[in-house]
Amino acid sequence: MVSLPQVAVVASSAILRFAAFVFLRWIPGHHFVPLISTALVVYLSSLFALSRSTGDKPVADRKDSKHPQNDPTRTPAQGDVIKTLLTGLPSASSPLATRFTTLVNIVLALLAFDFLLRGHVLYPANDLALSRIGYVSPTTASLLVREPDPKQLPLVIFYQDETQEDVSQWVEEGAIYALDEATDYTTTVTIKNLNPGSNYRYSLSNNHTGLFTTAPLPGTQSANRLSFLTSSCMKPNFPYNPLSHPLRLPGIEKMTEAMNKLPSLFRPAFMLFLGDFIYIDVPQRFGSSVSHYRSEYRRVYSSPSWTASQDSPAINLPWIHTLDDHEIANDWSKGNTTDPYPAAADPFVHYHVSVNPPIPPMPFASPENTTYFSFIHGPASFFMLDTRAYRSEPAQPNSTILGSAQLQSLLAYIARPEPAEVRWKIVASSVPFTKNWRVGTTDTWGGFLNERRSVFEAMWRAERELGVRIILLSGDRHEFGSTRFPDPTLGLTAQETLPDTAGEGLHEFSVGPLSMFYLPIRSYRQTDNEDVAVKYIPDGNTKYGLIDIDLRDERVDTPSGKSVVVSSSVLTYSLYVDDDVVWKYSLSVPLPGFEAVAVAANPPSRHPLLPPGKVLEDKTDPDSWDIMVKTAIGQVEDVVRGILRQMTDIRDRILKAERLD
């Protein structure tokens, strides 16, 4: 006979083990800790009830188990032990197995608490001393400094040319006399009057030191090339490893290692990080005050991963940042004055905005509170969007993701002719432009399709008229997806807009996480010919893109089957998973003087100037069985969501009918 406590033991043990596995290795969702704790309480109390009830009926028990205690030659039945280890049920023949299976459940719950709490409790990071370089122009570098120890003041800042060996040749940039709680002991120093395209070393009187390289002088040979990194989303020590430092970010270490292997010419000039830097609400939000938000930034910057590499530490790479929801609260769309936005904005401004690039020349808003940015670096001009602070409720006909000031500023930027050496406009958004992600679509540009349409129309026009190519970069989805949005005036055929094809159109590359979970189900799928899937690579806890722009001779195939050589600016996107390139794609813009060749090479119905993209390398295996299974699961999800939506619709209609009555 199966008793109620037996059922409770088996069920709670199974739930606890499965939940702990998912929480520690797959997705650190906030539901899991309460679930694991409850399962443990139910498990231990049912176990206790079970031992009491068997204790009440010793005679019956002994009859069943043939007096095990009185028979020294008897060994525990193997089947019984395995059953105990698997189900969590007590074993009649082996008290050791019972103890072990109980211990496994207790340890799993403790590991979950360790993941949740160790970093938080042991590392308030109040004494963090930090220095990092943010935005670098041809002649300036922005340095963020945090120093809470008053004994280190005044803090003097020096710099010198990196090749300079003579220590007496340090240039003194200035001194910081006061730092206080108002800015969480941070301040910004702009090092000025630097030479373009040069390597420098800086040093502070608290012994912090680092290296940086200034941007190239516009119009020079070196301004034709640029390489930079992009990614998003990180949370320390995930997937959880009990032996690891609780603040370790393995993704940063893998990326640094991979970049340090590149020849110095190809090393990235900066990291364009597209949000979800602190992940305040995963696995658990501990508070919503300014001090909570500040402590999360300090903890991330206290990670040993920033300095793990001896010769070229990660902290030397300049990072520039956009805002996303996990810097505030999940799927944030409540504006820039509702709580907790003001508390969340405080450290975002002190730690990130303060050393970010400048705001656009035409911000259409008060400069002091503008959180979108724009700059030119070599062959590319950038616009970094804030898709969180100014957005309205999604999925309404008049929903705005940018707010009117930012939208005007972006449209002015898109329509602006660029200096001759700039051939790329790169628009960075925390959330993807494509609606091909079928989970949480309305939190992306998929919830703001009317605004997306106006932005795309401006971009297609700019590509036709300005001789530049526009690239969209985004993050947020914990997956890699590249999508193209063909200009409808090109009239591409159904054949040319098939899923998983390289080709023409405005291209988006969305990548993440740098160090975080990825979904075990497939959530990206092409559904029409507006958003054409180029490539989808969901797996990997560490994914980032390296973008490299340089001048090169490109072969363009003419309709007659011949190929011509067109001198071009070529952008190569390399997707890294961990420390390997798994996919590489290139796009090009013909240089002035070669447009005629390019036009002759392309059939008249095509874009006169911008040749289709090309896959250069693909190490993924689309036919592996696990990908097919996960795709099927993803589609089941889609169907279930569709049914739920229908049910909500029906419910809403009934409620509306009732109200009308």
Ligand X SMILES: *[C@@H]1O[C@H](CO)[C@@H](O)[C@H](O)[C@H]1NC(C)=O
- Interacting residue ranges for ligand X, rule: CB under 6 A: 206-207, 336-337, 365-366, 368-369, 390, 392, 396, 398, 400, 403, 405
Rounded to the nearest 5 percent, the helix, strand and coil shares of the chain are: 40, 20, 40
Q: Which is nearer to ligand X, 8 or 153 (CB)?
A: 153
Tell me which long-range contacts 602-610 makes (C-beta under 8 A, separation of at least 24). 602/556, 602/558, 602/559, 603/559, 605/490, 605/491, 606/490, 606/504, 607/463, 607/464, 607/487, 607/490, 607/504, 608/464, 609/463, 609/467, 610/463, 610/469, 610/504
Phi, psi dihedral angles at 609 (to 5 degrees): -120, -30
DSSP secondary structure of 528-595: SSSSEEEEEE---S-EEEEEEEEEEEEEEE-TTS-EEEEEEEEEEEEEEETTEEEEEEEEEEEPTT-H
161 beta partners: 200
- Strand 563-577 and strand 580-590: the pairing is antiparallel
Q: Which is nearer to ligand X, 76 or 313 (CB)?
A: 313
Q: Could you tell me the smallest distance in angstroms from the CB atom of residue 343 to ligand X?
A: 10
Token readout for 47 is: 């176990």
Q: Could you tell me the smallest distance in angstroms from the CB atom of residue 166 to ligand X?
A: 18
Q: Which is nearer to ligand X, 163 or 207 (CB)?
A: 207
Q: Could you tell me the smallest distance in angstroms from the CB atom of residue 315 to ligand X?
A: 17
Reduced to 3 states, what is the DSSP secondary structure of residue 149?
A: coil
CA dist., res. 535 & res. 96, Å (int) = 52
Q: Could you tell me the smallest distance in angstroms from the CB atom of residue 389 to ligand X?
A: 6
- The sign of the dihedral angle between the CA atoms of 414, 419, 425, 428 is negative
CA dist., res. 210 & res. 207, Å (int) = 10
Q: Which is nearer to ligand X, 205 or 631 (CB)?
A: 205
For residue 249, what are the CA distances in angstroms to 69, 113, 126, 139, 306? 52, 19, 20, 32, 8
Q: Could you tell me the smallest distance in angstroms from the CB atom of residue 205 to ligand X?
A: 7
Q: Which is nearer to ligand X, 359 or 502 (CB)?
A: 359
Q: Which is nearer to ligand X, 342 or 559 (CB)?
A: 342
Reduced to 3 states, what is the DSSP secondary structure of residue 425?
A: strand
CA dist., res. 309 & res. 151, Å (int) = 29
Q: Could you tell me the smallest distance in angstroms from the CB atom of residue 252 to ligand X?
A: 25
Q: Which is nearer to ligand X, 397 or 604 (CB)?
A: 397
Q: Which is nearer to ligand X, 167 or 657 (CB)?
A: 167
Q: Which is nearer to ligand X, 168 or 207 (CB)?
A: 207
Q: Could you tell me the smallest distance in angstroms from the CB atom of residue 356 to ligand X?
A: 15
- The sign of the dihedral angle between the CA atoms of 545, 546, 550, 554 is negative
Query: Order of strands across the sheet with 532-537?
Result: 373-377, 380-384, 424-429, 469-474, 506-510, 480-485, 532-537
Q: Could you tell me the smallest distance in angstroms from the CB atom of residue 619 to ligand X?
A: 44
CA dist., res. 482 & res. 616, Å (int) = 14
Q: Could you tell me the smallest distance in angstroms from the CB atom of residue 358 to ligand X?
A: 17
Q: Which is nearer to ligand X, 282 or 365 (CB)?
A: 365
Q: Which is nearer to ligand X, 241 or 408 (CB)?
A: 408
Q: Which is nearer to ligand X, 180 or 617 (CB)?
A: 180
- The residue type of 437 is W
Q: Could you tell me the smallest distance in angstroms from the CB atom of residue 564 to ligand X?
A: 49
The HSE-up count of residue 37 (CA atoms within 13 Å, CB side) is: 8
Find the helix or strand (DSSP H, E) in which 470 lies. Answer: strand 469-474
Q: Could you tell me the smallest distance in angstroms from the CB atom of residue 490 to ligand X?
A: 32
Q: Which is nearer to ligand X, 173 or 386 (CB)?
A: 386
Q: Could you tell me the smallest distance in angstroms from the CB atom of residue 304 to ligand X?
A: 19
CA dist., res. 173 & res. 290, Å (int) = 31
In sequence order, which residues have a C-beta less than 8 Å from that of residue 618 and are 6 or more positions away? 535, 582, 583, 584
Q: Could you tell me the smallest distance in angstroms from the CB atom of residue 366 to ligand X?
A: 4
Token readout for 660 is: 């009308």
Q: Could you tell me the smallest distance in angstroms from the CB atom of residue 408 to ligand X?
A: 11
Q: Which is nearer to ligand X, 206 or 316 (CB)?
A: 206
Token readout for 393 is: 């409720």
- Strand 469-474 and strand 424-429: the pairing is parallel
Find the helix or strand (DSSP H, E) in which 642 lies. Answer: helix 625-660
